[in-house]
Structure 1
Amino acid sequence: MKSDVEIAQQATLAPISRIAADLGIDESEYEPYGRDKAKLSLTLLDRLKDRPNGKLVLVTAINPTPAGEGKTTMNVGLSMALNAIGKNAISALREPSLGPCFGLKGGAAGGGYSQVLPMEDINLHFTGDFNAIGAANNLLAAMLDNSLFRGNPLGIDPQRVVLRRVVDMNDRALRSVLIGLGRRTDGIPRQGGFEITVASEVMAILCLTSGIKDLKERLGRMVVAYTPDRDPVTATDLQAVGAMAMLLKDAIKPNLVQTVENTPAIIHGGPFANIAHGCNSALATRMALKLADYTVTEAGFGADLGAEKFLDIVCPSAGVAPDAVVLVATVHALKYNGGVPRAELSQENLVALDAGMANLEQHLENLDKYGVNTLVALNRFPDDTDAEIALVRERCARLGVQVVTAEVFEKGSRGGLEMARAVVEVCERPHHYHRLYSSELGLREKIETVAREIYRADAVNFSPRAQRQLENLTRLGFGSLPVCLAKTQYSFSDDPAKLGAPRGFEITVRQLVLRAGAGFVVALTGDILTMPGLPKVPAAVGMDIDEDGHITGLS
């Protein structure tokens, strides 16, 4: 089979003007970025505000493994398959980050014959959204340090600056740095650091905002530092909001592209799911719901991270709820959770598969707590046996959950027809979505609820630092905010080595990070980092471009 980039380069793309016209978008409501991409104007939402929403389908997955689950591939394949059976569907996705693209994970535009295009552009600089987000964040950081240098009129405690600069690259050397060194005119020396752009609060704000006015209000609420008395200093205090919003004037607009089969796709925003809320922008989802009968969105990593945050943070903020949830799994990944080494995953092993099913079943039990209707989509590999598929079906049947198989990677929409028909049927069932916890609970109780109900932790331990932060955030009036637990994506626990459905463990919260503008509090657990590092052999090593501009090694 051809590589992802070869399939992408040989696909025939329709002019973006045709994709827009087919959706009923007027020429005045989009701005072309070349032939294959366009920015959608927010005036589109104003015009369509009275149009009923279509159905919302959330694609999530079991905990990711080295075997790969293909969640984005299934998202794209499902949207194409829905169109193939006569439905009007749009795929809504996050934008890929350069860090994991050149690091370990690779790109995030789907794969095989189930991709969004132009794949090279989407995986690289795209329309410049991440650059704008980074610039807005770093402008705020520069204005903060300038205020310190100019006599510190806001009374900022240099030891309590919480805003960090960002760069969209995995670079562990920037996690902790000393700034302001050199001459007196080079600034006030202090310890600082960098986060990857997708961990920036500006990214989270952009992905939850409802428009320019709301964007500016959220940016203004960003807490960048504290005084010696632990009172917050905000972006509004630094008078940075107008300039930041100006830098984001185009980045706030969702991006229209298409799949290999010319199904429309809206790609916008890209917060990580293990250190942020892990979903495409609310604006993109709301636009898609007005433009299509079915919107297929996704939440990053496993359902214990992405889906939990989509259902507890994004849905209440955006005013939406899924009509169906598709939980993606593979036989390979389930066997890996059952203890099979990666090199042996292609061999039939019903005993290990049966043990690994505990991971899938816990995700299903968790989703049921939200009152949503769920089906399991098995991303089928060529070496999956009929006996293995039958085992998965039988175990899920005990929970009353339907299982469908899909081969969209190799066959495109033809490989997802069963999945599409099942999704249509599930969307017609009544659902009773509700959040896992009430906003009236305190921050500690919300964290403990997620850890107990979703992870199955016996207890949550708070470091002395986290305990002080809990008390101060509650004192400042932020106790009603939802929580965003940052942990490893590989396990229900905060230990990536504990696969399957571990029991008898405790979660440790070492630090809390207030995201007042985004509207949630991040709880950092385990060894989770907001600036990843590169692996021993980065994916960048295998990438190249020739004299004719043809890219190789990108996936």
Structure 2
Amino acid sequence: MLSDIEISRQAQLQPIETIAQEFGIIPAELTLFGSTKAKINLSIKQRLKDNRDGKLVIVTAVTPTPFGEGKTVTTIGLTQGLQAIGKQACACIRQPSMGPVFGIKGGAAGGGLAQVVPMEALNLHLTGDIHAVTSAHNLAAAALDARLYHETRLGAEEFTQASQLPALDIDPNKIMWRRVVDQNERSLRQITLAQGASNGPIHDGGFDITAASELMAILALSRDLQDMRARIGQIVLALSKSGEFITAEQLGVAGAMTVIMSEAIEPTLMQTLTGAPCLIHAGPFANIAHGNSSIIADDIALKLADIVVTEGGFGSDMGFEKFCNIKARQSGKAPDAAVIVVTVKALKANAELADGEARDEMSKLQAGFVNLAWHMRNVAQYGVPVVVAINRFESDSFEELAWLKAEVLELGAFGCEVSEAFTQGSQGATQLAQTVVHATEAGGEFKYLYELEASIEAKLMTIAEIGYGASGVNLSPLACAQLQTLKQKGFEHLPLCVAKTPLSISHDPKVKGAPSGFELPITELKLNAGAGFITALVGKVMTMPGLGVRPGYLNVDINEHGEIVGLA
């Protein structure tokens, strides 16, 4: 079989104007970026406001493994399968960060015959949204350090006379706004700023990856430009020496930040290999952010499509949980059905085996099934019909697939289908598409995991015990102090966004299967006032990834024809 990039390059693409027209988008609502991608103007929301909403399907997965479960392949394959059975379908996915693209994960366009194309465009820059987030974020960091420098240099009274601005009295040891860059760069996690004469008070800082920026979360959760402007103004950047929050609005930088992101708020339209529309917008990671594409993209797609297929990052303990408890709260749209992607290889890798214990392949599969069973129960507790998609690999035996399907149905899933979208495209996902359609029509009684009125401690306990299977939580002294500050400042009503490893349901990436009885260590509580949630950092989770010993960029180059090669 050809590589993903070869398949993408050989595809017969339709002009993006044709994709838009067939989907119900008029030319005046498009800003073209060449012939294969276009921005959608938000004026479309007013035109479509009276349209009936379609059904919303979220694709999630079992706990990730090095083999890859094919969640995006299934998202795109299902969209193509829905199109093949006569449904107007649209996929809504996140924009890939170049950190993982050139690091270890590779691209995020799907794969095989279930891709968004051209895959190079999706994986590299697209229409510049991530760069806009990076620039707007770092403008706030520069503005904060400049204000600190000038107030320190002149003193409060002289600064106010010179600038006609009130002195903010920034505490250099309480600056909360780190810088960002869209690459994996562990050496920037901790840095020292303002070294050298006349550069301001020396203080500690650091970088996160752009996907972890609160601005990225704001982009994904905003309803329109005015909402984004208001949210950016509410961002807490630092504390004053008297302990007061200093916001982007108070610093006077919120308007300029919004201007930089004023085009990024528009989703980008692309197409799948079969010409199905796909909206790409925002790119928050699910391990350190909320892991879902934008509310705006969903809103537009739901007004035009019968069924919209979106995707939550990593397993159901990550992106799906945050979709339900953060995104659905802010969008007002709960999923009508959920698809859990699983592979035989993934379940074998998730088997909790004793050291040196030998098992045959079927026994490994049976031992690892507890992980899928956990994710099925996790999704079902939200009142959403569950369909399991077995993403088939060539090495899977008929016996293994038959056993797995029978066990899934025995456990009470709405349906279970083998997907061969990777090798067969839309035809490999038509049965899955039929089952998903029936699931969306079955109806459910969606419910949140916790109520916003509960205390922060109660919400943490609920996520830990019911969301992960832990026996409780353990807050560090820093987290305890931050908890008291959040309560005093009136932010106890916000939902929680847990930042933890995606490689285990627990906080320990080495623990497989369906762990229970562990204590969840909360190391830090970080306010994201603009995004509208509190991030709870668990264990040693990193907000800036690093490159491995053999990064993906080693394979990427340009050939003699000027074509990109080696992009995964």
Give the TM-score band, short-chain normalised.
over 0.9
Aligned-residue offset at 1:291: 1.2
Conservation of the 8 A alpha-carbon contact between 1:348 and 1:388: no
Deviations 1:183-239 (A, max 9, x none): 21x233110000000000000001000011100110000000012332211000101
Structure 1 partner of 2:451: 438
C-alpha separation between the residues in 2 aligned to 1:235 and 1:485?
24
State how far apart, in whole Å, the 2-side matches of 1:253 and 1:547 are: 35
- 1:14, 1:36 → 2: CA distance? 8
AA of the residue aligned to 1:399: L
For residue 175 of structure 1, the aligned residue among 189, 205, 209 is 189
Which residue of the partner structure matches residue 179 of structure 2? 165
The residue number in structure 2 matching 1:219 is 232
User: How many residues get paired?
Assistant: 551
Report 1:258-407 matches (<5 A). Answer: 258-339=271-352, 349-401=361-413, 402-407=415-420
Percent sequence identity is 47
The worse-fitting range, judged by mean Cα deviation, of 503-512 and 6-15 is 503-512
Look up the SS of the partner of 1:159 in the other structure.
strand
The answer on whether the counterparts of 1:170 and 1:196 sit within 8 Å (CA) in structure 2 is yes
Aligned position for 1:237: 250
Q: Cα offset for 1:340?
A: 7.6
Q: Which residue of 1 aligns with 2:62?
A: 62
Q: Choose which of 156, 159, 172 in structure 1 pairs with 2:170.
A: 156
1:393 and 1:4 mapped to 2: Cα distance? 28
Match of 1:494 among 507, 521, 531: 507
AA matched with 1:384:
D
SS of 2:170's equivalent? coil
Counterpart Cα distance in 1 of 2:497 and 2:110 = 26
Question: 1:415-464 CA deviation, whole Å, 9 max, x = no partner?
Answer: 10110000011010111111100001111111111110021011100000
Q: Secondary structure at the match of 1:158?
A: strand
Residue identity matched to 2:363: V
Q: CA deviation at 1:527?
A: 1.2
Structure 2 equivalent of residue 536 of structure 1: 549
Unpaired stretches in structure 1, ≥5 consecutive residues: none
User: Alignment partner of 2:53: what SS?
Assistant: coil
**How much does 1:348 deviate?**
6.4
Distance 2:318 2:491 in 1: 22
The farther-off stretch of 220-229 and 527-536 is 220-229
Alignment pair present for 1:462 and 2:462: no
Give me the whole-angstrom Cα distance separating, in 2, the residues matched to 1:228 and 1:368: 48
Cross-structure match for 1:72: 72
Question: CA offsets, 1:481-504, max 9 Å, x none?
Answer: 000000000101100000110123
Q: Is the 8 A contact 1:348 1:385 kept in 2?
A: no
CA-atom RMSD, angstroms? 1.4
Matched-pair contact (CA < 8 Å) for 1:322–1:372? yes
Match of 1:322, SS?
Answer: coil
Rounded Cα–Cα distance in structure 2 between residues aligned with 1:303 and 1:110:
19
- State the one-letter code of the partner of 1:103: G
Amino acid in the other structure paired with 2:406:
E
Counterparts of 2:101 and 2:516, CA distance in 1: 33
- Note if contact 1:205-1:215 (Cα within 8 Å) is conserved in structure 2: yes
Rate the CA distance shift 1:121–1:340 in 2: closer, same or farther, 3 A.
farther
State the match for 1:103 in structure 2. Answer: 103
CA distance in 1, matches of 2:172, 2:419: 54
Give the superposition deviation at 1:409.
Answer: 0.6
Amino acid at match of 2:127: T
* Aligned: 1:121 with 2:129: no
Describe the shift of the 1:340–1:96 C-alpha distance in structure 2 as closer, same or farther (beyond 3 A). farther
User: What letter corresponds to residue 109 of structure 1 in structure 2?
Assistant: A
**What secondary structure sits across from 1:14 in the alignment?**
coil
Classify the secondary structure of the residue corresponding to 2:151. Answer: coil
Residue in structure 2 matched with residue 138 of structure 1 by the alignment: 138
Q: What is the rounded CA distance, in whole Å, between the counterparts of 1:264 and 1:101 in structure 2?
A: 23
Residue identity opposite 2:200 in structure 1:
G
Tell me what 2:217 maps to: 204
**Structure 1 segments (4+ residues) deviating >2 Å:** none
Residue-by-residue CA offset, 1:334-362 (whole Å, 9 max, x unaligned): 01111589xx99x9611111111111111
Equivalents in 2 of 1:410, 1:395: separation in Å? 25
* Partner in structure 2 of residue 520 of structure 1: 533
Q: Paired residue for 2:82? A: 82
Distance 1:538 1:14 in 2: 34
Distance 1:416 1:529 in 2: 36
User: Within 1, Cα distance between the matches of 2:353 and 2:39?
Assistant: 45
SS in 2 for 1:181: coil
Distance 1:435 1:224 in 2: 30
DSSP-derived class of the 2:251 partner: coil
The alpha-carbon deviation at position 102 of structure 1 amounts to 0.5
One-letter amino acid of the counterpart of residue 481, structure 1 = L
Distance in 2 separating the partners of 1:131 and 1:61: 29
Q: Which whole-Å CA distance do the structure 2 matches of 1:188 and 1:545 have between them?
A: 45
1:230–1:472 CA contact under 8 A, matched in 2 = no
Q: Equivalents in 2 of 1:2, 1:398: separation in Å?
A: 38
Q: Answer whether contact 1:348 1:384 (CA < 8 A) is retained.
A: no
Distance of 1:187 and 1:83 partners within structure 2: 59
CA distance in 2 between counterparts of 1:466 and 1:239 reads: 29
Q: Which stretch shows the higher mean deviation, 393-402 or 477-486? A: 393-402
> Using the alignment, how far apart are the partners of 1:242 and 1:548 within structure 2?
44
CA distance in 2, matches of 1:148, 1:253: 34
What's the TM-score, normalizing by structure 1?
Answer: 0.98
**Amino acid aligned to 2:375:** H
Taking structure 2 as the reference length, what is the TM-score of the superposition?
A: 0.95
Instruction: Quote the offset at 1:241 in angstroms.
Output: 1.2
The AA in structure 2 aligned to 1:260 is: L
Q: Deviations over 1:37-91 (max 9, x none)?
A: 0000000011101101001010000110011100000000000000000110001
Where does residue 40 of structure 1 map in the other structure?
40
> Structure 2 stretches of 5 or more lacking a match?
153-166
Note the C-alpha offset of 1:397: 2.2
- Higher deviation after alignment, 495-504 or 478-487: 495-504
CA contact (8 A) 1:484 1:521 kept: yes
SS of 1:236 mapped into structure 2? helix
